[in-house]
Chain A
Amino acid sequence: MEIVLSPITRISGFLTIIAQVDDNIVVDAKCKGTMFRGFEKLLIGKHPFDAVYLTQRICGICSSAHSIASSRALEDCSSLIVDYNSRIIRNIIHGFDILQNHIRQFYLFSIPDFVNIETENFKSKVPRDLEIKIGDNYIKSLYYSTLAHQGLSILGGKAPHNHAIVFGGVTTKLNQYEYSKAVEIADELLSFCQYMLEDYYIIEKYYTEYFNIGDSGSNYLSFGLFDDTPEFNICSSGVLINRKYSELNLNDLKEYEFVDDISFIKAPRYLNLPMEVGPLSRNCIKNGWVKSSTLGRIKSRVYEAKSIAENIKNMLKEVAINKNSTSKDVLDGTGIGTTDTIRGALYHSVEIQNKKINQYNIITPSAFNLSPTYNGIKGPLERALIGTYIEDTSNPIEIIRTVHSFDPCVSCATHLVSKDGVLLNENHFVHR
Chain B
Amino acid sequence: MNLIWLETNGCSGNIISFLNSENPSFEFLKQRVNITFSNSEMYPFGTKAMDAFFDTIEKGGYILVVEGAISTKDNGNYNIIGYYNDKYITALEAVKVASENAKFIISAGTCSCFGGISAAFPNVSESKALSEVIPNKKIIKMPGCPVSGNWMASLLLNLIEGNQIELDPIGRPIYLYGNTVHDFCERRTFFERNIFAKRIGDVGCYLKIGCVGPSTKAPCPYTRWNGYIKWPIGVNSPCIGCSSKDFPNYTLFKEDEV
Contacts and interface: CB of A to CB of B under 8 A. Distances in A.
A356 to B, nearest CB: 10
Q: Which of B10, B22, B71 has the most CB of A within 10 A?
A: B10
B43 A326 contact: no
Contacts of A42: 117, 120-123
B101 interface: no
Contacts of B233: 157
B39 interface: yes
A282 B2 CA distance: 42
B72 interface: no
B113 interface: no
B234 A150 contact: no
A9 B45 contact: yes
Interface string B154-167: 00000000000000
B91 to A, nearest CB: 8
Nearest to A60: B13
A169 B121 CA distance: 28
Interface string B27-60: 1000000000011111111100110000000000
A78 to B, nearest CB: 15
A102 interface: no
Interface string A269-289: 000000000000000000000
A300 interface: no
B199 A326 contact: yes
Given A9-B45, A34-B79, A60-B15, A157 B230 contact: yes
A355 to B, nearest CB: 9
Interface stretch (B131-139, B186-194, B245-253): B245-253
Interface residues of A, number: 75
A326 B22 contact: no
Given A14-B39, A158-B231, A146 B117 contact: no
A181 interface: yes
A149 B253 contact: no
B225 A6 contact: no
Interface of B: 7, 9-17, 19-22, 25-27, 38-46, 49-50, 71, 74, 77-83, 88, 117-118, 120-125, 127, 145-146, 199-201, 225-237, 240, 242, 248, 251-253, 255-256
13 contacts: A6-B80, A13-B7, A14-B80, A34-B81, A36-B9, A41-B124, A42-B122, A60-B10, A60-B11, A150-B20, A158-B226, A169-B201, A411-B10
